[in-house]
Structure 1
Amino acid sequence: MTSHIPSMTLPRFVFEAPAASILLPVALGTAIGYSTRPKRTKATYATLKNPPGNPPAWVFGPTWTGLYAMMGYSAYRAWNIGMSSMNPHTVELAKHGATLYTIQLGLNLIWMPLFFGMGKPIAASVDIVALTSVTGYLAYIWGQVDATSGWLLAPYLAWLGFANYLCHGAGYLNNWDFSGKVGTFKRQ
């Protein structure tokens, strides 16, 4: 079991204020999305061989926005319920979850630059497996603090399962080589 690592955890105020908890992942996810140039990303997505069942590119933005908002609300809820508990074990679980949350958010935010920006499907696949594992553990930890907080991460975990399929499938179908497919489009 890992523990609370203050140097690897977002500041308390992010978890204490609902607006900060919800808007931070939404804003960071949006910034990453735009930093990888949406038109270029859509062109890359269309150029790659993708596994069956891949959704149209326009689905990802709204889906991730909703998932980031739920993730942020889960963080706010688990932190505030946990930190107000009289049980020291619950307080520790809330702090532990805050560290896991920060780690999963970092892993989440580097996936798109790895996959689309740098065209590194193997690194992106390793990242998304780690992300899914950390998020599953986070749901377990925060579920012990507050069942609703744990269940709020269930749609995110389901989407991550689907994203694993898409990521690994695209990697496999393109022989784990995106050269010539990523970064060759005109900057837009």
Structure 2
Amino acid sequence: MVRQEAAMEEAQSMTPLVGFVLLPHVGSIWGARITKKEIPNWYESLEKPSWNPPNWIFAPVWGTLYSSMGYGSYLVWKELGGFNEKSMVPLGLYAGQLALNWSWTPIFFGKHKLGWGLVTVLLTAGAATATTTVWHHVNKTASYLMYPYLAWLTFASVLNYRLWKDNRDKKHPDASE
């Protein structure tokens, strides 16, 4: 009986960790449906730079980045003692950048708004940078876990800019904005 209680306590203590790691993936489920539908028709018709990664690379990269930032958010939450006044800014910034991140796919892929996608990814990068900076004062490991995400957002911003620039005058449905 004691062993069973210990196992239950351990499982309960892991619940926040699992929740924080999985949370960033929630928005990607809807985004993946939109992207999967739009790649063969719309996205493949866009002019892309030679350094555009193959389509298959995006899912594992985003999966890794989402898990990493989710774990970082767990570290911040744990360090600050849960949801409270001290965690409001660090976790609020995180939630804001995550909402911006999730909104990019419906804007870019769903609505074919390349220019607004660029604005969104730049806002996401700014919010993620602010999050990383604030996290650094709370838990350095959490902030370091955001570095690959910041690097990828930089790359994604440049790629989004290039797609917008190279396709704004083309006859793609709604690709001009």
What are the ranges of 5 or more consecutive residues in structure 2 without an aligned counterpart? 1-14
> Which residue is 1:185 aligned to?
none
Aligned-residue RMSD, C-alpha: 2.1
Indicate whether 1:120 and 2:113 are aligned: yes
| Amino acid paired to 1:18 | L
C-alpha contact (below 8 Å) 1:171/1:177 kept by paired residues: no
Q: Matched residues, percent identical?
A: 30
Distance in structure 1 (CA, Å) of the matches to 2:74 and 2:67:
11
How many Å apart are 1:176 and its aligned residue? 6.3
What are the ranges of 5 or more consecutive residues in structure 1 without an aligned counterpart? 1-15, 183-188
Rate the CA distance shift 1:70–1:105 in 2: closer, same or farther, 3 A: same
Indicate whether 1:20 and 2:19 are aligned: yes
Describe the SS at the equivalent of 1:163.
Answer: helix
Distance in structure 2 (CA, Å) of the matches to 1:22 and 1:138:
16
C-alpha contact (below 8 Å) 2:46/2:172 kept by paired residues: no
Describe the SS at the equivalent of 1:53.
Answer: coil
| Aligned mate of 2:63, from 65, 71, 77 | 65
Matches within 5 A, 1:137-156: 137-156=130-149
How many Å apart are 1:60 and its aligned residue? 0.5
| Aligned mate of 1:179, from 156, 165, 172 | 172
Q: How big is each residue's C-alpha offset from its partner over 1:104-140, in whole Å with a ceiling of 9 and x where there is no partner?
A: 1110001011111101111111111100000001000
Q: Give the count of matched residue pairs.
A: 160
Matches within 5 A, 1:40-55: 40-55=38-53
Distance in structure 2 (CA, Å) of the matches to 1:178 and 1:80:
51
Describe the SS at the equivalent of 2:80.
Answer: helix
Distance in structure 1 (CA, Å) of the matches to 2:80 and 2:49:
41
Q: How big is each residue's C-alpha offset from its partner over 1:59-102, in whole Å with a ceiling of 9 and x where there is no partner?
A: 11111011111111000001111227xxx9xx63x321111011
Distance in structure 2 (CA, Å) of the matches to 1:178 and 1:129:
25
How many Å apart are 1:32 and its aligned residue? 1.8
Describe the SS at the equivalent of 2:39.
Answer: helix
| Amino acid paired to 1:33 | A
C-alpha contact (below 8 Å) 1:50/1:170 kept by paired residues: yes
Rate the CA distance shift 1:72–1:127 in 2: closer, same or farther, 3 A: same
C-alpha contact (below 8 Å) 1:21/1:76 kept by paired residues: yes
Describe the SS at the equivalent of 2:42.
Answer: helix
Work out which structure has the larger RCO, using CA pairs closer than 8 Å and 6 or more positions apart in sequence. Answer: 1
Rate the CA distance shift 1:161–1:17 in 2: closer, same or farther, 3 A: same
Indicate whether 1:161 and 2:154 are aligned: yes
C-alpha contact (below 8 Å) 1:121/1:177 kept by paired residues: no
